[in-house]
Amino acid sequence: MKELAIGIDGGGTSCRAAVADRDGNVLGRGKAGPANILSDLENSLLNIVESARQALSDAGLDAESVASVVSVVGVAGANVMDYGQRIERALLFTEGRVVTDALISLQGALGDADGIVGAFGTGSVYSARRNGRLKGIGGWGFIVGDQASGARLGRDLMERSLLAHDGVRPASPITEAVMTEYGNDPERIVEFAHTARPKDFASYAPMVFKHAAEGDVVAVGIVRDAATAIGESLDALLWPECPSICLLGGLAEAYEPWLSERYKPLLARPKNDALQGAVELAVKLLNDKQRGAA
Amino acid sequence: MKELAIGIDGGGTSCRAAVADRDGNVLGRGKAGPANILSDLENSLLNIVESARQALSDAGLDAESVASVVSVVGVAGANVMDYGQRIERALLFTEGRVVTDALISLQGALGDADGIVGAFGTGSVYSARRNGRLKGIGGWGFIVGDQASGARLGRDLMERSLLAHDGVRPASPITEAVMTEYGNDPERIVEFAHTARPKDFASYAPMVFKHAAEGDVVAVGIVRDAATAIGESLDALLWPECPSICLLGGLAEAYEPWLSERYKPLLARPKNDALQGAVELAVKLLNDKQRGAA
């Protein structure tokens, strides 16, 4: 009978799981539907459990043949209300711990080292590990936060396109492209904005970076504002001996040239992804538990 | 049998109507529920018609005893899709014209003179009459516009309170008051922000102005940004001979001390309110019609 560790990255697009032995060797992998626990807890629980079962099956094991399985699930919203406990209860066949998506990203990117991680996709969120202690900031959503998120870049683009349409701020190739897309009808932009979800706004982020690279004055303004916001958040976390800063997520590379020079010497490639971070944390938990039992 | 003009101010809180003779003497007034034609056309139509009937009744008239009634309805969204025509059809007993709320506000504030009107309440919108020609800008809603609206002031306050909570931007008495109100739990602010309607955000506007007047650094920053946005919009409309600028709406007085000095010589009190503007336009329409028939 084996003792196993399962790491699960419960993401908004899919849940991915990997099962490892106590030395961290990955034995199998699984994948299931998305986990959005704040909007659909029930299906999120099913998908988290399913990804774990697939990983065990991929490793040639079934849940019943396993003496001891420790799991770590990283998922957005794990720290909200009692969602973490509800996920732990759903993972009946394991001894589980539910942590934030930020923690498994940080563990994946930095391993056991200190440092800062900033993640830039549809949202934006930062975390730091300093002398082993964790601190997270940002990630409050694009309505009143996530200043460097794809959603904010897209929302800013719509706002500045309307200001250009009204003659309040200068027009540029990117605002003209937006107005053309919406048939030069500002009402249609307003209609889009009032039904758009974060990912709908974020779909404009690549267009913003493309025009900014070409020197478009409006796009450059939008990206500079976001890069300034990144700098402010990094400064809030940074300390003199901080060994590295990892930028993660779909927009990380696009932001790099826009960051202040003073962060560039610290920039480092992430060691691993969030799933690997979850596996590492699960392996630690398994070994801690055995030391506790010894 | 009388010839009458009815002006109707179809507002988001209530519909107000006034009936006048062809010399503009108001004979009666009426009031009914709100008109929000974009979100509830059916009840908006009922309330618009009801306010007109009450005004006729207040004047001692009933719709049937009147030979000719001309009406002008000012309502937000009148320029969107076919809403204007649908309102005209609902006002069966009158010959009607439906115009934007901005136009009746401008007519009320400026009378027949040229000038600029800026309205600052839950939203923010500008209009100008120059050599008799009308131009409107802004009013696109707080998600991607309305930079000087109460809704944006409140949304900015929530955003800066979260930044202060994270240690990214300085805290101040106003951000501390917000955090205290939400039990020092940023998640509760996020929850509020994701369900808040424009008027919910706008309910924080008086608090922002109060703290700004006391020198609160964060509140001053929020109000200065909004006042800068007002200046940019005024500049987009202003011309050398512009005789006056009228600021309307619940936040107009609060903004005045924050405006750039260069607008202050032009500031003028509005002559009348939007309802009176609607009456004036209706009287004009009645007289034009009679000239046409003569």
Rounded mean pLDDT for each run of 10 residues along chain B, 294 residues in total: 87 91 95 87 90 92 72 83 77 79 93 96 93 92 95 98 97 98 95 92 97 98 98 97 95 96 94 96 89 66
To 10 degrees, the CA torsion angle through A225, A229, A232, A233?
A: -170
- Given this model, what pLDDT does residue A87 score? 78
Residues A122 and A217 in one domain: yes
For B158, name the nearest residue in chain A, comparing CA atoms only: A144
Question: Do residue A165 and residue A242 come from a single domain?
Answer: yes
> Do residue B90 and residue B143 come from a single domain?
no
Does A219 share its domain with A154?
yes
Cβ–Cβ below 8 Å for B194 and A158: no
Task: Give the torsion sign (CA, B74, B78, B84, B87).
Answer: negative
Give the domain range for residue A69. Answer: 3-111+272-293
Please list every residue in chain B whose beta carbon sits closer than 8 Å to the beta carbon of residue A168: 137-138, 232-233, 235-236
Give the model confidence (pLDDT) of A68-96 as tens digits.
Answer: 789 999 988 777 677 778 877 777 767 88
Q: Which residues of A touch B102 (CB under 8 A)?
A: none
| Same domain flag for B226 and B164 | yes
Q: What is the pLDDT of residues B160-204, one digit of tens each?
A: 999 999 999 999 999 999 999 999 999 999 999 989 999 999 999
Confidence of residue A225 (pLDDT cuts 50, 70, 90): very high
> Within this chain, do residues B134 and B250 fall inside the same structural domain, yes or no?
yes
Which pLDDT does position B240 carry in this prediction? Answer: 95
If you average pLDDT over residues A223-243, what whole number do you get?
A: 97
Q: Chain B interface, mutation test: which of A130, A166, A178, A239, most B Cβ atoms within 10 Å?
A: A166
Q: Specify the CATH number for the domain of residue A9.
A: 3.30.420.40
Domain count along chain A = 2
A90 compared with A156, residue with greater pLDDT: A156
**Nearest by CB: B144 against A158, A167, A169:** A158
Whether B141 sits inside 8 A of A190 (CB atoms) is yes
- What pLDDT shows up at residue B196? 93
pLDDT band at A178 (very low <50, low <70, confident <90, very high): very high
pTM: 0.89
pLDDT class for A148, splitting at 50, 70, 90? very high
On chain B, the residues whose CB falls within 8 A of the CB of A169 are 232
* pLDDT at residue A66, as a whole number: 65
Contact A233 B166 (CB under 8 A): yes
Cβ distance of A143 and B194 shorter than 8 Å: yes
d(CA B124, CA B149) in angstroms, rounded, equals: 5
Task: Reply yes or no on whether the pLDDT at A292 is more than 90.
Answer: no
Long-range contacts of B214-222 (CB under 8 A, 24+ apart): B214/B173, B216/B172, B216/B173, B216/B174, B217/B170, B217/B172, B218/B157, B218/B160, B218/B164, B218/B169, B218/B170, B218/B171, B218/B172, B218/B174, B218/B175, B219/B157, B219/B172, B219/B174, B221/B160, B222/B153, B222/B156, B222/B157, B222/B160
- Cα nearest neighbour of B169 on chain A: A232
Residue with the larger pLDDT of the pair A12 and A278: A278
List Cα–Cα distances, A208 to A174, A177, A182, A252, B182, in angstroms.
8, 11, 16, 14, 35
Is A190's CB within 8 Å of B232's CB?
no
Judgement on whether residues B183 and B228 belong to the same structural domain of the protein: yes
CA-based nearest residue in chain B for residue A238? B168
- E-strand ranges in A161-272 read 245-248
pLDDT at A40 > cutoff 90 = no
Distances (CA, A) of B231 to A265, B110, B138, B252: 41, 20, 13, 13
* B150 and B188 together in one domain: yes
Task: Kindly state whether residues A107 and A243 are assigned to the same domain.
Answer: no
Is residue A154 predicted with pLDDT exceeding 60? yes
pLDDT tens digit sequence for A182-216: 999 999 999 999 899 999 999 999 999 999 999 99
pLDDT tens profile A15-38? 999 999 999 999 999 999 998 887
Same domain, A212 and A192: yes
State whether A223 and A157 are in the same domain: yes
Q: Are residues B33 and B144 in the same domain?
A: no
**DSSP state, A100?**
-
Distance from CA of A212 to the nearest CA of B (A): 20
